[in-house]
Structure 1
Amino acid sequence: MLIVPEEDIFIDKEKQGGYKSIGIVTDKLDKCIAKYQQENFNGIFGNPSFGFKNVDFDFVKDFKDAKFIWFWNINVNDITGLYNLENAEYFGVLGKRPLLDFSNFRSLKTLVLEWHQKDKNLYNCENIEHFDLWHHKPKDKSFADFSFPRFAKKVGLNWTNVEDLTTLNGLKGMSEISIDRSRNLKSLRGLETYADTIEKLYFDTCNKLSDYTFILDFPKLQSAVVKRIRLK
């Protein structure tokens, strides 16, 4: 994002994800609403460094047609206002928050999710094509109890604590996977389950990773980069 100030509020000039988004400044909320409506924005974002101080998302009722939602480093105690969103497509709410019920976001196409053990119904988001999961660190170091959005084609895992991918489950038609900053990862075993669909692989800052050369036998593989070395 390229965030610049404009008339006491903030605009993303880079148009992340292809959306025209405006920053939510808590003390200038009325001005944000007016500008959003007058200039045909279709996205909202928020961060404490850019004036977001809310502890809830009740304000979303005035932005319910937003397709792009991106909030990070936040601390909120009520997220029910997010359920006012009608056709959200790109979604990321990162920071301290209560659980999310993803049955309310069936139109999502891109989701960046910071792992929360009590989130539910992610499996039902059948339109998600790009899914990034951050900080997945359960005690059993496994994906066994995590339900991935099953039709995601691009999957990114960041800061996961698994040692291999044998419990990576439920995905149908995954074509790309990237894993970054996962220091426990030793093996890519489990990816063979998706050998018939995987085209691109990228793994970086996974210093213990040693068992991976078998991926070169995947029939549709076009690109493979492991620890900054291009294998294909």
Structure 2
Amino acid sequence: MSIQKDKNGFFVWGDYQQGSPGLGVQSDRIDECIDYYHANGFNGLFGSASFGFDQDNLDFLVQAPAVQWLWFWDINLKNIDPLYGLNQLNHFGIHPKRPGIDFSRLPSLRTAVNFWIKSDTGITKSKITEYYHWHYKPRDKSYEGLEMPKNVKKLEMNWANPASLEGLPVMKKLKSLQFHRCRNLNDLSALPRVAPNLENLLITTSSKVDPTDGILDHPTLKSAWIDGNEYARQDPAE
């Protein structure tokens, strides 16, 4: 992350989305920020307590209906309704202290970084193709009932607590799958069912994983790396 304060006292994030700089929203000068956003060709907006964002709503977004990307972290929101007026929003990241979001109401969203909460809805019906999922830790330690985007091509799970993939829906378009810091994960035997067309698998900081069932017998997997070790699918013809 490289967020810099410019000569006018505004926070600029230039390297998050290549060719698409973002401006930090400072709660004590919102109108100035929005004017600066429009005047200087920014495509994204972000907010964090570390950079002056300390309000409980996103009402200012009605003044930026064409924003293309958003990121909000270390926040505590009570109202997120203005999100639903952003018809050009294609990349969105947000922390969990917020109301639930209906992702099906974000028509242009293709990439989401989501700290999941139970009241989130519409993920299956969304148009998300890249999904970065953080901190999924249900009490039953199961993926049962967890929504996934039906068109997802790249999925990254971070800090999830299930031990197996049971309960995950079938994701026919999924090509790339990653697990990071999923310390309970050990059983990948359901992988061919869950991701029948998967090509690339990467797992890190998950030392319990059995690198055999679900990997060596996966029909389309081209690359599988687990904690720095590569595992190749066995070809019956050889």
Paired residue secondary structure (2:46): strand
* Number of the residue aligned with 1:68: 69
Are the aligned partners of 1:202 and 1:225 in contact in 2 as well (CA < 8 Å)? yes
d(CA) in 2 for partners of 1:81, 1:99: 13
AA at the equivalent of 2:38 = Q
Deviation at 1:39, TM superposition (A): 1.5
Runs of 4+ in 1 over 3 A off after TM superposition: 211-214
Please state if 1:11 is matched with 2:43: no
Query: 1:30-53: per-residue Cα shift (whole Å, max 9, x none)?
Result: 221111111221111111111111
The one-character-per-residue Cα deviations of 1:147-205 (angstroms, maximum 9, x if unpaired) are 10011000000111111012221422100100011111111121111564111100011
1:93 aligns with 2:56: no
| TM-score (ref. length: structure 1) | 0.93
- Output the CA distance in 1 between the equivalents of 2:157 and 2:220: 21
Q: Which SS does the other structure have where 2:215 is aligned? A: helix
1:190 is matched with 190
For the 8 Å contact 1:135–1:158, the answer to whether it is kept is yes
The alignment partner of 1:95 has SS state of coil
Count of matched residue pairs: 231
Contact 1:9 1:28 in 2 (8 A): no
User: Unmatched 5+ residue regions in structure 1?
Assistant: none
Secondary structure of the equivalent of 1:92? Answer: strand
> Which residue matches 1:160?
160
1:2 shift after superposition: 1.6
For residues 16 and 105 of structure 1, what CA distance do their matches in structure 2 show?
A: 19
What CA distance in whole angstroms lies between the structure 1 residues aligned with 2:5 and 2:151? 38
Q: Deviations along 1:130-158, whole A, 9 cap, x unmatched? A: 00111111122222211100110000001
Which protein has the bigger helix share? 1
The 5 A counterparts of 1:74-223 are 74-125=75-126, 127-194=127-194, 196-212=196-212, 214-223=214-223
Unmatched segments (≥5 aa) in structure 2: 233-238
Give percent identity, aligned residues only: 35
Distance in structure 2 (CA, Å) of the matches to 1:139 and 1:54: 31
Asked if 2 retains the 8 angstrom alpha-carbon contact of 1:65 and 1:85, the reply is yes
Amino acid at match of 2:105: N
Contact 2:87-2:107 at 8 Å conserved across structures: no
In the alignment, the residues of structure 2 paired with residue 212 and residue 97 of structure 1 have an alpha-carbon distance, to the nearest angstrom, of: 40
Structure 1 distance, partners of 2:227, 2:32, is 47
Q: CA deviation at 1:24?
A: 0.7
> In 2 relative to 1, CA 164–114 (structure 1 residues): closer, same or farther, beyond 3 Å?
same
Distance in 2 separating the partners of 1:196 and 1:102: 25
Structure 1 residue matching 2:216: 3-state secondary structure: helix
Deviations 1:55-74 (A, max 9, x none): 11111111121110111111
Please state how far the C-alpha of 1:211 moved relative to its aligned partner.
4.7
**Secondary structure, counterpart of 1:46 in structure 2:** strand
TM-score normalised over the length of structure 2? 0.91
- Aligned CA RMSD, in angstroms, stands at 1.6
Supply the AA of the counterpart residue of 1:16. Q
User: Which residue matches 2:229?
Assistant: 229
